[in-house]
Amino acid sequence: QVQLAESGGGLVQPGGSLRLSCAASGRIFRIYAMGWYRQAPGKQRELVAAITSGGTTNYADSVKGRFTISRDTAKMTVDLQMNSLKPEDTADYYCNARIARYSYSASAEYWGRGTQVTVSA
């Protein structure tokens, strides 16, 4: 069993900051890309930021310059530092990872349960 556990969501005023964290646990051989997605009410889930095992990052245009993704390979964690938050950043944020459970198995995509971020005055 593999689990992704998110933490760090909450209510913040516009212009404020939050840091989301996600920890992977369970029977894991290797973690490939990790990332954060978000889904606002009535909208489709979208990629916010992703980071490969080699450290290459990718950001949605809407968060470039404001959000920073980082990972700790040894601890199997991925964080999302969110600065200059805007009301339009309000959404449920989901951790995502591509994981191989065994050396001989193909990788699969795993999701966390999500953490809510609300940006409001």
Read off the pLDDT of residues 26-42 as tens digits, 9 standing for 90 and up: 999 999 999 999 999 99
Read off the pLDDT of residues 78-103 as tens digits, 9 standing for 90 and up: 999 999 999 999 999 999 999 999 98
Place of tokens 């949605």: 60
pLDDT of residue 115: 97
pLDDT of residue 84: 98
Read off the pLDDT of residues 8-66 as tens digits, 9 standing for 90 and up: 999 999 999 999 999 999 999 999 999 999 999 999 999 999 999 999 999 999 999 99
Among residues 93, 98, 108, which one has the least CA distance to residue 48? 93
